[in-house]
Structure 1
């Protein structure tokens, strides 16, 4: 089949191929919705997942340029779908969704980590590419997509997407030779974007660790408080409680929870005496607060941000026999 014949073939199949592209996107997103939480799904994509069928003129030009003898079998990017996520750590779940679909057979066409390892000095177009081919003939809305019809799936981070959008047409598809200084600038940009991806991933991991620590402290403090004081009646808000743990996270990371529990047990009767509906003594944050003032009194006082509970802070310190500077 020559280039012009392939163009006619593509036009005839275009309606079916569009449905195939939608099918690929739907199968992948359905897998994701079944395997991650709604909140995680809503945060995953920074560009809506999409599919497209290659423009006929572009396809004909590529067949002629590549001298394909069997364009139907050789051109694997006639249909393409794209998934853009925020960070490198998000790529894996998309890859799993591609590999765990029984409607097609998947082959990885490009692997950025392998390419970087093989050519570490080259900063290239680094999307993950899969080629999937239908295991059986597919019928959608009276349209038939033949078995083995390929679809290219691109998975990339937002940084890779920005790079690709700039470079794809201007560097790799341009007719003119690109000057060496421009290629160096593009390589520098890719290096910076790759570094930014890594920094975002590291920052996200730190935040995830912080959230786990905060949740763990909240659960531990609540259990200790309820065991000794019976009920929580404070009007300390969820936001105020979270800000407390975020503010003192570094100091609490050194705390032994058995020591925290023993300290609160020793002073629980006094806390119960001071318990009133609107003060800190009626909320579980008093549990780690006792330990903070016992071990880091002045630093805790200096970082204290809840002015309306300043008197309660000073009362807790007094219970421990501690005088706060500059109160």
Structure 2
């Protein structure tokens, strides 16, 4: 296949490759949402489908001294997607989503965890690379995607991405001889990134430990809110402040106790519904927790309330109690 034939085929198939990349992104985003993970928060850079331009393709196929016998079919990154997350633990989550999807075949092109196991003294460019192909013919966006179409998916942490952006082309893909001092500096950077990531993971685990996480209070409170109010909760950062201030009252039985409170005071449900569209506080499931606090721990709640007191006054009026000056 000469260059002209290569480009003719690529021009005819480029929309198919783009559709395949878009399909993969949509599947992974849907899987994150199904797991209760907000992609807008979890993914640190919005995933975009990257199509290789013609010049780059021709250069890779014919001028980089690659051992291709059939370059068009052997180049597997004509379309690529990159997912950038915060921690290496998050990388594992995306990998699990990719491996568990039955709509494509998964080939691991690069596994930096495996590379570290084989060479524990190695500190170099890190990323997870998968090559995905449709297991069966797929139709997406009015385009038929045959089973031979590949897409390269890369998964990195934010720190790994920064390292790669600074060094990958300049160090790992260059044909020029790199000074040993530069290579050592790059390796030290990678070692520092691994160390920093381990500290981040440790800090995240400590921050997420405690009864709120252990008893899945927020998730269960959201579910109770939806079942009783019939509307979706949209908790803001202020909820974390309240949970933190009154963490000592959180137990495994808390949600059952809050449900009992709502059964005893069903008018609270109508109060929330009536104010849902006008006062944002009533759109958040932790309003139920504050009702319970006022009913059962009024003195401590009044003395230690961390937010604007006006909120507490609204809720005290709802539940029919007086606040302490």
For the aligned pair, the TM-score class normalised by the smaller chain equals 0.5 to 0.7
Deviation at 1:5, TM superposition (A): 3.1
Larger Rg: 1
- Residue 211 of structure 1 deviates from its aligned partner by 5.8
Aligned to 2:180: 180
38, 41, 44: which one aligns with 2:42: 44
Q: Report the Cα distance in structure 2 between the residues aligned to 1:131 and 1:47, rounded to whole angstroms.
A: 21
Cα drift, residue 26 of structure 1: 0.6
Does residue 13 (structure 1) correspond to residue 13 (structure 2)? The answer is yes
> Match of 1:312?
none
Judging changes above 3 Å, is the alpha-carbon distance between structure 1 residues 243 and 175 closer, same or farther for their aligned structure 2 residues? same
Deviation at 1:210, TM superposition (A): 3.6
Tell me by how many angstroms 1:50 deviates. Answer: 1.6
Change (3 A) 1:182 1:23: same
Instruction: State the match for 1:94 in structure 2.
Output: 94
With over 3 angstroms needed to count, the CA separation of the structure-2 counterparts of 1:177 and 1:285, relative to structure 1, is same
SS of equivalent residue, structure 2 residue 154: strand
The 8 Å contact of residues 3 and 61 in structure 1, kept in 2 or not, is answered as: no
1:127-142 to 2 correspondences below 5 Å: 127-142=127-142
- Tell which deviates more after alignment, 5-14 or 148-157: 5-14
CA distance in structure 2 between the partners assigned to 1:70 and 1:56 by the alignment: 17
Unaligned runs of 5+ in 1: 219-236, 253-276, 290-303, 307-327
- Counterpart position of 2:122: 122
1:146 aligns with: 146
- C-alpha distance in structure 1 between counterparts of 2:245 and 2:48, whole Å: 42
* Secondary structure of 1:198 counterpart: helix
Which residue is equivalent to 2:85?
85
5+ residue gaps, structure 2, are 219-237, 250-292, 307-325
Paired residues of 2:40 and 2:46 also in contact (CA < 8 A)? no
CA-to-aligned-CA distance 1:90-140 (integer Å, 9 cap, x gap): 112211221122221112111111101112222122111111111222333
Give the Cα–Cα distance (whole angstroms) in 2 for the partners of residues 239 and 107 of structure 1.
41
Summarize deviations over 1:213-246 as a string: whole Å, max 9, x none. 797999xxxxxxxxxxxxxxxxxx9777545467
Aligned-residue Cα RMSD (Å) equals: 3.5
1:145 to partner: Cα distance: 2.5
Q: Are 1:58 and 2:56 an aligned pair?
A: yes
Give the structure 2 partner of residue 189 of structure 1: 189
| Alignment coverage as a number of residue pairs | 244
Q: Distance in 2 between matches of 1:105 and 1:18?
A: 18
Q: 1:176 to 1:145 in 2, by over 3 A?
A: same
TM-score w.r.t. structure 2 length?
0.65
| Paired residue secondary structure (1:93) | helix
State the SS of the aligned residue for 2:44.
strand
